Structure 1
Amino acid sequence: MHAVIKKIGFEVNIFVASTLIDLYAKCGSIKEAYIVFSSVEEKNVVLWNAMISGFSRHARFMEAMISFEKMQQMGMYPNEVTYISVLSACGHMGLVEKGWRYFDRMKKEHNLSPNVFHYSCMVDVLGRAGRIQEAKDLMDNMPFKATASMWGSLLASCRIHGNVELAEVAAKHLFEIEPHNAGNHVLLSNTYAAKKKWAEVAKARKLLKDSEAKKERGKSWIEVKDKVHTFMVGERTHPRIVEIYSRLEDLLEEMKRLDYKVDTEHDLHDVEEMRKQELLRHHSEKLAFTYGLMTLPSCAPIRIMKNLRICGDCHSFMKLASIITGREIVVRDTNRFHHFKNGFCSCGEFW
């Protein structure tokens, strides 16, 4: 489609270009998004917003901030959408003070009233940084009623930072607002599991079963030669699954020489250690990566999409895989894009 657009001369059209930028950013190709952005000479606020949003999604905080300042130097005023992207970037990098500065700046410098989305971003900024009580206080004192998104963000932060007390408060509100969202039950259960509160885990799982809410199964997918291949943990149906498992085992053996050990802390089932290791070693994103390694050209990045948050063990696996294979790996989970290269991730271990 991009090739057709370029041939007929529509690439310089602001509306087409902003959509292309958004498309590339959402597909994990932030470099291509920036190439499109740079090719348009007459930029408007929509184009700038699309690029800043893309940088934010890919944890390119410095690029997002530079673009934010540069658009103003070019005579463009940031609007409500611009500030949502900037605050989101602060959340992804744990920059609380910068987040507050931008939150105040939108009112004082640009006469913009923060709406429910800006408050939601600030709740996320505070929660991700572990300042969960501050996030709760902000929700209690804001001029809006807290949304499901805010309570969900607070619950996710409680899970990451082990705050059981506020997790229970957030979950109670979510059960009322979203009675059919099984993800909220799972987050609460995982918060208990991380603290080894197995009795509470059992209660949370019974509540989930009684609620009849449907739990979303974790899955990852990868596109190879215009076909999407989907994997689940312990996959058995893919036509090349035997070969995939064999190649994955070879990879894991190589990683052992780099002191990689399956981190069972990230499996929250009350089962034996060996079973935990087995569950983790066959997570869906590992299978999708292995298939990409087997089928994609050596010069191509391996792009994986996932419908849940990437776990810490898979995050460590991808870092080591990028060293062993020399490949760039891009994983999009529910929160952001992770770019793995030479043993490092763009998220800076903050996600």
Structure 2
Amino acid sequence: MRILSNAKAPNEFLPSTDASASPTTASPAVMCPETITTISSLLKSCARPSHLKQAHARILTLGLHRRIPTLLSAATLGYLSLGLLDSALPLFRSVPSPSPFLFNMAIRACAAGGRFHVALSLYSTLLSSGLRPDKFTFPFALRSCAALSDLWVGKLLHQHSLCFGCASDLFVAAALVDMYSKCGDVFCARQTFDKMANRDLVCWTSMISGYAHNGLTMETLEFFRLMQLSSVKPNRVSLLSALLACGRLGALRGGECFHCLAIKTRFEHDVLVATAVVDMYVKCGNLELARLMFDRIDSKDVVCWSTMVAGFGYHGLAGEAISTFDNMVDDGVMPNATTFTSLLSACSHSGLSEEGRRFFDSMNLKYGIEPKMNHYACMVDILGRAGKLQEAEEFIKQMPMEPDTSIWVSLLGACRIHGDLDLGEKIADKIMNRDHNHAGYFVLLSNVYAAKSRWTDVERVRKLMVGRRVNKDQGISLIEFNNQVHKFGVDDKSHPHSREIYAYLDQLSVRMKQLGYVPLVDFALHDVDDESKEIALSYHSERLAIVFGLINMNPGTVIRVTKNLRVCGDCHNAIKFISKIESRVIIVRDANRFHHFEGGICSCHDHW
């Protein structure tokens, strides 16, 4: 009865050198139920890996793993509870007939430990063993699908949950909503959500986060409002999603409301929420507030510092971006790959080619960070914008990896800016068969041809796009007014105020020409006369949004417009004239950066 009398001392289970402890001479008392129960309890109570391994070793020494298989299950559960998957999984596979409970615990531990493929493999084994998954099985199997973005397996698990009568369980349904959201199928996520009889905060948060991370910004804010109307208090994740949506929309007033909500719910000092607030103000064009909120954060991590570096870069303030980077390093926070992407982009937007090259070289030499594809793309962009096209091409040839489409598109964009059609065509030949569905490439190539009035080639590119089913992104501009975001497209007449907007814009055009405005018709991609090209340029989405703001906002109010594409050269020129005529500050955020127009001058100094 030695084992029973010493059951509370794990060290007694160390392998013995005494021959009497061998399996062939083990005492019959080992087989009594009390002994088995004691050992099982001991395995479950081991709080340290060393104690658990000692107990496991003693079981093996006594040969109990062959006589009492339930002890293997107990040992497996002990390893799983301590997160020792490398020990637990081989042991699990040796259990003769694992119970559904043991399967569930193994699947749960694998999902929690990032072994998502293993978790799904265990689920498959459970089914093939003739066991039934239950409401405890599906949440963690679905979590694995979400982490792997495996929508096909996720849908299969959804079918299984229906077949086994588990789909109506609150936790299973919440896991389904989360899986569909993270796999990009927000339609199925919403369908599942709407069928739920009861919804907790996790379900609401999964839907809001799903909308936000799939680019459905308007739906994100609408769903957040519905959550509040349902008397569900927001958590950190839902606040982060709402702030992200406001930043993308450029909805400053909405963002301010969520900032107030963060203060009210005591999330203001959470570094993630505080960083999201900074990012929101940056993307809404209020750099002063962003800087103020940044300075108030006590414990800034690398994400927070990188956000501010990126913010200064977006607004064309490379000097402040570099200064912030230096302060970060002085503060003992080491930069990461994202930090350097932001820093290199800042140098690109401000035309600092030498500084950009210095920071690029320092990545590996000083900070031990291997440059990735996006860093090389930034360097090509820096050299291209500076007009160093041949140097950029040579830089690409010296890359240690095969350049992808983004690299060539950066250089092609520079060819468009500097009118180097020969190099542009050479690049086009390189990437024609690389990315058949890259709309940005086709648009840039069309721009190069159109600038040289090569309309036959423009039409050829257009036919290629049709043949390959490539859809060009439509230019959309957004402006916030009275807590509502208004959307405008090119030549858009769907807005209720369209008649006023077009009349005001025509009047502005006359006044602009009186001040010397000349339409840059090279930016119109149509083989028509200059007058028709001028008309085509006059009603671009950003102009419609700006005029809407001029009509509806009080004099002196800053007009903030967000555009999904890069602002064209003619609109950039026109907005400078509008800011001077109307004596307004106009802030336009395009796909690349911010443009602050005031008194006929843009903050980018025509370098963008």
State the TM-score, normalizing by the size of structure 2.
0.55
Secondary structure of the structure 2 residue equivalent to 1:338: strand
Unaligned 5+ residue runs, structure 2? 1-257
Q: Which residue in 2 is equivalent to 1:226?
A: 483
Give the number of aligned pairs: 351
**Deviations, residues 34-68 of structure 1 (Å, cap 9, x unaligned):** 12101113322221111001111111111101111
1:130 aligns with 2:395: no
Secondary structure of the structure 2 residue equivalent to 1:121: helix
Q: 1:340 to 1:7 in 2, by over 3 A?
A: same
Q: Distance in 2 between matches of 1:82 and 1:95?
A: 17
5 Å-filtered alignment, 1:17-36, equals: 17-36=274-293
Does the CA-based 8 Å contact 1:21-1:34 persist in structure 2? yes
Q: Which residue in 1 is equivalent to 2:413?
A: 156
Q: Which residue in 1 is equivalent to 2:579?
A: 322
Q: 1:219 to 1:4 in 2, by over 3 A?
A: closer
5 Å-filtered alignment, 1:88-107, equals: 88-107=345-364
| Larger RCO: 1 or 2 (CA < 8 Å, sep 6+) | 1
Of 137, 147, 162, the residue aligned with 2:404 is: 147
How many angstroms does 1:301 deviate by? 1.7
Does the CA-based 8 Å contact 1:12-1:39 persist in structure 2? no
Which is helix-richer, 1 or 2? 2
5 Å-filtered alignment, 1:1-80, equals: 1-80=258-337
1:343 aligns with 2:607: no
Q: Distance in 2 between matches of 1:254 and 1:196?
A: 29
Of 249, 271, 290, the residue aligned with 2:547 is: 290
5 Å-filtered alignment, 1:144-223, equals: 144-223=401-480
Identity of aligned residues (%): 43
Q: Distance in 2 between matches of 1:128 and 1:240?
A: 39
Q: 1:259 to 1:74 in 2, by over 3 A?
A: same
Q: Distance in 2 between matches of 1:318 and 1:324?
A: 10
1:110 aligns with 2:346: no
Largest Rg, 1 or 2: 2
How many angstroms does 1:173 deviate by? 4.3
Q: Distance in 1 between matches of 2:466 and 2:329?
A: 52
Does the CA-based 8 Å contact 1:233-1:282 persist in structure 2? yes
Does the CA-based 8 Å contact 2:282-2:311 persist in structure 1? yes
**Deviations, residues 151-210 of structure 1 (Å, cap 9, x unaligned):** 221221111122223323433444433312333222112201111223322322222222
Q: AA paired with 2:379?
A: M
Q: AA paired with 1:302?
A: I
Q: Distance in 1 between matches of 2:271 and 2:314?
A: 21
**Deviations, residues 100-157 of structure 1 (Å, cap 9, x unaligned):** 1111222232232222221111111111112122222222221112122112212211
Quote the RMSD (CA, aligned, Å): 1.8
Q: Distance in 2 between matches of 1:103 and 1:184?
A: 26
Q: Distance in 2 between matches of 1:4 and 1:122?
A: 40
Q: AA paired with 1:15?
A: L
Secondary structure of the structure 2 residue equivalent to 1:177: coil
Q: AA paired with 1:119?
A: Y
Secondary structure of the structure 1 residue equivalent to 2:333: coil
Secondary structure of the structure 2 residue equivalent to 1:47: helix
Q: 1:172 to 1:223 in 2, by over 3 A?
A: farther
Q: Distance in 2 between matches of 1:322 and 1:178?
A: 40
State the TM-score, normalizing by the size of structure 1.
0.94
